[in-house]
Amino acid sequence: MSVNVNETIHETVGKSVLAEKLGFDYVWVSDVPEQRYAPVVASAIAARTKRIKIGLGLLSPFVHSPLQIAGSVITLVETYGERFELCIGPGDRNQMKRIGINLTHQRGISDDLLAAKNEIEKILRKRRVDCPVWLGAQGPKMLRASRFFAGVLLNYGSSELVKWAVDQVGQVKNRNFKYGIYALSYVYAKHDPKIHKLLKVSCAVVTLGATKTVLEKLSLAEEVAQANKALENGVSLDLIANSIPDRSMESFSIHKRSGELGAYLAELSGLGIEHVVFGYPQNHSKQTIRQLSRALNLKP
């Protein structure tokens, strides 16, 4: 599961400790430049846990240099052991704009990320630090670039999009290459309208930042263009979320009843997915985390 960096460090660490006790394999820590730096949160989690692996990312080399990213990984590994994995990517376009970085018309992003990955790995090798580097990807160019990474984390939940993405990646020479998804999630036994609303708004954010190719594939390009204009004009995100078709939620999230989760994961496994990260708002409370652990039949 992922943790929510919008919360206090105390809350994030507490939920991560619970995740370890419940039997989760990984906790992933997103980097939100305007709020928290992921390696700091990861350090606090590692200090209070023993077994669970910790994923750093998505971290953007357009915000943090490869040297900074590698240095953070080295510090974490030397302090807490080889429990860490890293995912890099360009970052959410709208979020990046808020910190003064505009990627909308920048070319060669996939080449820049591959160069950053190579530099990070070179620094890690010099220090004899083992840390797999994933690529967070959504559009065709990024998906094709991912074959040169340790794995790819896909930013959607529908099996149809996952199948399309695996086909886009193409032939991979690395036998240890892994396919994974990192998706907004709400798995429930009893549906809570409040959490459903959090999921809907979060899906709107992801949809607004989705690549042109994916939006066209989902026939959402026109609606999203209008929604982005409305956002720039000060319309609230809640209103914008209501204007985006429900298929965006079906495409970009894992929204399932507990009893449906097993069949869904089996379908993903058949498509080659080995790693599933359940994102916000599944981490909304300790109760929702426990709901997910029961749906997964985890053993502490």
Rounded mean pLDDT of 6-35?
A: 92
Using an 8 Å Cβ cutoff, are 46 and 80 in contact? yes
Q: What is the CATH number of the domain that holds 82?
A: 3.20.20.30
The confidence score (pLDDT) of residue 299 equals 82
The verdict on residue 192 lying in a domain is no
Confidence of residue 31 (pLDDT cuts 50, 70, 90): confident
Number of domains in the chain: 1
Confidence of residue 3 (pLDDT cuts 50, 70, 90): very high
The confidence score (pLDDT) of residue 110 equals 92
The verdict on residue 94 lying in a domain is yes
The verdict on residue 106 lying in a domain is yes
Rounded mean pLDDT of 96-110?
A: 76
Rounded mean pLDDT of 251-257?
A: 97
How far is 293 from 284, CA to CA, in rounded Å?
Answer: 14
Using an 8 Å Cβ cutoff, are 29 and 56 in contact? yes
Percent of the chain scoring above 90 in pLDDT: 81
The verdict on residue 263 lying in a domain is yes
pLDDT tens per residue across span 155-172: 999 999 999 999 999 999
Please give the helix or strand (H or E) that residue 96 lies within, else none: helix 93-98
The verdict on residue 226 lying in a domain is no
Kindly report the average pLDDT of the chain as a whole number.
Answer: 93
Write out the residue range of the structural domain in which residue 96 sits.
2-185+254-295
This prediction has a pTM of 0.94
- Cis peptide bond prior to 58, omega within 30° of 0: yes
The confidence score (pLDDT) of residue 101 equals 73
Rounded mean pLDDT of 281-285?
A: 96
How far is 247 from 46, CA to CA, in rounded Å?
Answer: 37
Name the burial class of residue 90, with classes exposed (0-12), middle (13-18) and buried (19+) by CB atoms within 10 angstroms of its CB. Answer: buried
Rounded mean pLDDT of 23-42?
A: 89
Q: Say how many residues make up the chain.
A: 300
DSSP class of residue 99 equals: T
Rounded mean pLDDT of 43-47?
A: 97
The verdict on residue 92 lying in a domain is yes
Confidence of residue 102 (pLDDT cuts 50, 70, 90): confident
The verdict on residue 211 lying in a domain is no
The verdict on residue 232 lying in a domain is no
